[in-house]
Structures are given as structure tokens and as C-alpha cells.
Amino acid sequence: MAISFDNRVAIVTGAGGGLGRAYALELARRGARVVVNDLGGARDGTGHSDAALAVVAEIEAAGGEAMSNGGSVTDYDQMVAMVAAAKARWGRIDILINNAGVLRDRSFAKMEPEDFRFVIDVHLNGSANCTKAVWDTMREQNYGRILMTASSTGLFGNFGQANYGAAKLGLAGLTKTLHLEGAKYGIKVNTIAPVAGTRMTEDIFPEAAFAAFAPENVAPAALFLVSEDAPTNMIVGAGAGVVQAAYVTLTQGARLVEATPESVAAQWSEIIDRKGEIVPNSGAEQTMLIMSKLQ
């Protein structure tokens, strides 16, 4: 069945270019009214421009409805004002895609604390700011779809991206608690780990790969994850039309013969054995698994 966003109101942060723009255009094409947020800075987060306005113009030219917002996700008050403006015009907020991001790559040895703090602030605190700004509205509506943007760096690591990776895995962690808190209010929360040829990856993608890795090839997964029938608490990788699921798993582990580090060493292969590993749905399930071993 066709997935429609008719009568839905969506906010996409960092939608002045790259992936956010592709999400905003496709949401609007499928009927959503879209807030296009973007500070319009450089890749490292400095400066600002009217990037969001051009995407709004594109949506309107195609017959869709959109409004621009030039606020920074790092400023909670600006995000509250953005939500208020969207509600004043359209009455509700159904979808939030936390997509805004910056890069300040350096090996950890050379990374300044300020570059660590700034990258965490934009990705992690920025997503928390926007989510907090829509949370009460979504609870009151008994409906909400929130998508966080992680990265393979956050899930698996990447040389030179300690700040970025920490922020990105933090977003998967935020998803894992918010999906629990949102469940009874019809709020579903997921994480996407995209792979796309944008200005963020222009130094690492060969020219030839750019077309296959177009942001438009990530948008289908993102849109499914904010659709009415979306799953919740999923971490989904998407790039070049390939869609994957990533899991945080827990092995069955071992009950130590003796409570000593030597026992841990002796039983290490049993501890890390992946046979029978589970994907806990909450932190409490780890405690339950431990309890079951004691019985």
C-alpha cells in the first residue's frame, strides 16, 4: 500500500542540503507539510546562510507546503519557537527527523576539547533539544514519529571521529530510552545510520560512487521509519538502496566459578560466545538475564 503523509506535519533539521533536503522533498511530495530547518553553516558548523529558504522554494514550486526555519538546534529556545510557529500554522507536529550535523574530524591526540564539545552539542544535545521541543505535543496528540541520525562511526567506530562517534552512539542510546517513554503515547522512535554522498563525505567518496549513494537512495528508509506503520527502537543502516538493521546484543555470558579476575580470564571464551545472544528491549532485561542465571 502506498505510504502517504497527507495531513502530517514534519520537522526536518539540517534540511537545507544533503540528506535532510532529500527527506524534506520526499515527505512533501507525499503530502506532508514540512518545516525545513537549517542554520546553513559550513561543514564544521561555522557561519550561516539561507539554505532552508531554497528548499522551501523547491517544495512550493512542486505544489507542496513548507516553511523555513533558520534556528540552530543547539538553541533550545529557538527550537521551541520553531515548534510554536509550525503549530500556529498547521496545528500539530507528527514527525521529527533529527538530521542536522557537523564534522570536526581529527585524531583524538590532536582534537581540542572545544571540538569535542561542539560536535556533541550539535548532534546529541541538538537532537535532544528538538525532541524535547516536540515531546509534549506528541504526547498530547497520542502520535509521534521521531528519527535520530546515527552513523556507522557511532555504531562501529572510525579513525579521526571520536567526537562524532560518541555523539552518534549517544543518539542510539537516546532512542532506546525514548521509545520506552513514548510507547504509551503512540510515539515511535528509531535511529538511521545513513551512507550518502553529500558534502559531509565528499572527501571520502570516489566521484563515481556519488550517484549510487545519492541522498535520495536513503530517503525511502527514513520515510518508512517515520510513517504510520513504522517499527520502534530500530537502528537501521541505509545507503545506495541497501537497508540493514543493526542490533545491540547481549551474550548469555557465564556464571563465574569464583568471583575473581582469574575466573573471568579462564571463562572468557564462554563469556563472549555469541550462541544464544539476545537483543534486550530494555536495560531491565539484562538484570533479568543475570537473575535467571542465579536460579
- Of 26, 64, 74, 144, the residue at the interface with ligand NAI (CB under 6 A) is 74
Question: How far from each other are the two terminal CA atoms of the chain, in whole angstroms?
Answer: 48
CA Rg, the chain, in Å? 20
Closest CB to ligand NAI among 63 and 206? 206
Smallest distance from the beta carbon of 119 to ligand NAI, in angstroms? 9
Binding of ligand NAI at residue 45 (CB under 6 A)? yes
DSSP category for residue 63: T
Angle at 86 between CA 80 and CA 90, to 5 degrees: 145
List, in order, residues 6 or more apart from 291 with CB less than 8 Å away.
Answer: none
Site string for ligand NAI, 194-233 (x = CB under 6 A): xxx-xxxx--------------------------------
- Of 8, 11, 12, 13, the residue at the interface with ligand NAI (CB under 6 A) is 13
d(CA 211, CA 196): 9
> Do residues 182 and 136 touch, judged by C-beta distance below 8 A?
no
- Closest-by-Cβ residue to ligand NAI is 18
Please provide the size of the chain in residues.
295
- Range in contact with ligand NAI (rule: CB under 6 A) among 4-12, 109-117, 134-142, 192-200: 192-200
The catalytic residue among 23, 76, 143, 164 is 164
Binding of ligand NAI at residue 82 (CB under 6 A)? no
d(CA 94, CA 67): 15
- Range in contact with ligand NAI (rule: CB under 6 A) among 17-25, 60-68, 222-230, 253-261: 17-25
- Range in contact with ligand NAI (rule: CB under 6 A) among 12-20, 86-94, 183-191, 279-287: 12-20
d(CA 177, CA 175): 6
Instruction: Number of residues interacting with ligand NAI: please give it, by CB under 6 A.
Output: 33
DSSP category for residue 134: H
Residue with cell 530500530: 234
Site string for ligand NAI, 91-120 (x = CB under 6 A): --------xxxx------------------
Angle at 159 between CA 175 and CA 194, to 5 degrees: 40
Binding of ligand NAI at residue 17 (CB under 6 A)? yes
Work out the burial of residue 208: count CB atoms within 10 Å of its CB; fewer than 13 is exposed, 13-18 middle, 19 or more buried. Answer: exposed
Closest CB to ligand NAI among 144 and 154? 154
Catalytic status, residue 247: no
List residues binding ligand NAI (CB under 6 A).
Answer: 13-14, 16-20, 37-41, 43, 45, 51, 72-74, 99-102, 122, 126, 149, 151, 194-196, 198-201
Catalytic residues: 164
